[in-house]
């Protein structure tokens, strides 16, 4: 069951559904928002950890869905395989993340697609790319529809591969979104019948035929400058339609050297960016990344205020928000944490006019021990010092490094807008590498 749950976790990330979120007690309100949105949007509850659901009292949610989720988790191992985030422990490729810049684009615009991965034997690895131009995630994120595949291999799509050392690689290429994606998408017809869309569509009818082709033709003829010259009410209607009239395409990378590893990433296609919408999503920015030393044994992060003024906060230098490095002297009897703060964007809700919400940020951590990559020595641990599982790795993670060793840490930040999931919203993402030498 352990392998199946890991596959479920990654498939959930790739499909754009809300990532597994596990927060401090002080962040329970955000978790409640996530699960409330989950119920409202009929998102897959099984992607949320049982621990989160136990913490919350949610009388308004669908009880059968929650009971089913808890039943499924009760039959699984309590933790995920440590080698999943201890890179190098096994001779396996690990896909760390696919970043699309920007994470949403209008038809005709160009995006950069970057695969981040760990590879102990890169010379033997082959990477194949394709994209599904018709994609619908389906109800509850199961039984997705994918059609109109395009092969992205060969000289027609030049790729740039970068070796970042220690077996960490990236591969990047550019892709122009076809003009007719919003006409082809099987998800668009369903979206156009949603109550929220129909309400705005009535006012939109004077400009465009109520068909995917009609809306696409009209929106593609406009610019942000055109909307700026209109009366505010008309401009607001058009921007609202541009936000709701959306589809996804899905990129697939297959890495193979003996066994196969698949990495997928969706791109939201809509005219919001071209027409000046304030709801355009951007990839998650890193507000800060710190190595924090606390002078005491087994100090729980939530109790850190007792050590205010005595903690050592070492800022990790961020070079273009991709690669970071720091060195610090390891003190005996201290507790150490890595603390990453993702910068959440504000956005408007599709359900009520004027409501502003804030993104939820999820974190996924990996480590590579330079001196002995195959070691199973725990690095990420719980607040109590036990070997951590995936649910314990949030924005503040406790670590147990060894003196005189260098570790490479990878943190993948991912933002979520649960209210927009049914409108084909793809999360923003960022992959950061940090080299830490403990002297």
Q: Give tens-digit pLDDT for 336-357.
A: 999 999 999 999 988 766 789 9
CA separation for the pair 267, 198 (Å, rounded): 24
- 85-124 pLDDT, tens digit each: 788 888 888 999 999 999 999 999 999 999 999 998 888 8
pTM: 0.81
Tell which residue, 196, 77, 169, has the closest CA to residue 433: 169
- 117-143 pLDDT, tens digit each: 999 888 889 999 999 999 988 766 667
Tell which residue, 358, 370, 364, 374, has the closest CA to residue 401: 370
Tell which residue, 433, 425, 421, 437, has the closest CA to residue 140: 421
Q: What CA dihedral angle connects 99, 433, 11 and 179, to 10 degrees? A: 0
Tell which residue, 85, 18, 79, has the closest CA to residue 51: 79
CA separation for the pair 69, 47 (Å, rounded): 9
Q: What is the mean pLDDT of residues 42-49?
A: 34
What are the b/e assignments for 286-299, b being 16+ CB within 10 Å?
Answer: beebbbbbbebeeb
18: pLDDT strictly greater than 50:
no
Q: Where are the domains of the chain?
A: 2-78, 87-277, 285-438
Which pLDDT belongs to residue 82?
54
Percentage of the chain with pLDDT > 70? 78
Do strands 86-87 and 360-369 pair parallel, antiparallel, or not at all (unpaired)? parallel
71: pLDDT strictly greater than 70:
no
Q: What is the mean pLDDT of residues 16-28?
A: 33
Six-digit token string for 353: 């006019």
Q: Domain 87-277, what fold?
A: Immunoglobulin-like (2.60.40)
Q: What is the mean pLDDT of residues 15-31?
A: 34
- 208-254 pLDDT, tens digit each: 998 999 999 999 999 999 999 999 999 988 998 999 999 999 999 99
Most distant CA pair in the chain, distance: 72
């Amino acid at each position: 069951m352990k392998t199946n749950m890991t596959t479920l976790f990654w498939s959930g990330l790739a499909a754009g559904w809300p990532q597994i979120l596990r927060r401090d007690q002080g962040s329970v309100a955000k978790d409640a928002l996530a699960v409330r949105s989950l119920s409202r949007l009929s998102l897959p509850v099984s992607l949320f950890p049982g621990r989160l659901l136990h913490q919350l009292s949610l009388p308004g949610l669908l009880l059968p869905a929650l009971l089913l989720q808890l039943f499924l988790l009760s039959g699984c191992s309590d933790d995920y395989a440590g080698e999943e985030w201890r890179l190098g422990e096994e001779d396996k490729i690990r896909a760390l993340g696919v970043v699309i810049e920007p994470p949403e684009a209008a038809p005709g615009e160009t995006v950069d697609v970057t695969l981040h991965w760990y590879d102990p034997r890169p010379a033997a690895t082959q990477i194949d790319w394709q994209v599904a131009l018709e994609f619908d995630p389906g109800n509850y994120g199961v039984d997705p529809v994918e059609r109109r595949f395009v092969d992205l291999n060969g000289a027609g799509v030049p790729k740039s591969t970068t070796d970042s050392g220690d077996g960490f690689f990236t591969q990047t290429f550019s892709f122009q979104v076809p003009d007719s994606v919003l006409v082809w998408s099987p998800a668009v017809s369903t979206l156009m019948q949603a109550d929220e869309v129909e309400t705005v569509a009535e006012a939109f009818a004077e400009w465009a035929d109520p068909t995917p082709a009609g809306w696409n033709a009209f929106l593609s003829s406009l610019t942000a400058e055109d909307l700026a010259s209109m009366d505010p009410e008309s401009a607001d209607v058009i921007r609202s339609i541009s936000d709701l009239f959306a589809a996804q395409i899905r990129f697939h990378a297959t890495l193979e050297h003996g066994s196969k590893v698949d990495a997928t990433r969706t791109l939201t296609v809509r005219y919001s960016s071209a027409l000046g919408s304030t709801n355009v999503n951007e990839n998650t920015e890193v507000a800060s990344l710190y190595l924090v030393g606390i002078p005491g044994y087994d100090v729980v992060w939530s109790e850190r205020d007792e050590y205010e003024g005595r903690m050592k906060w070492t800022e990790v230098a961020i070079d273009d928000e991709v690669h970071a490095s720091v060195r610090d002297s390891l003190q005996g009897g201290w507790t150490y944490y890595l603390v990453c703060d993702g910068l959440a964007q504000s956005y408007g809700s599709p359900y009520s006019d004027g409501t502003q919400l804030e993104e939820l940020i999820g974190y996924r951590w990996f480590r590579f021990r330079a001196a002995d990559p195959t070691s199973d020595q725990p690095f990420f641990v719980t607040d109590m010092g036990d070997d951590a599982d995936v649910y314990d790795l949030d924005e503040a993670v406790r670590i147990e490094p060894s003196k005189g060793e260098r570790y490479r840490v990878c943190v993948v930040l991912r933002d979520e807008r649960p209210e927009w999931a049914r409108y084909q919203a793809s999360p923003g993402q960022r992959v950061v590498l940090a080299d830490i030498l403990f002297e």
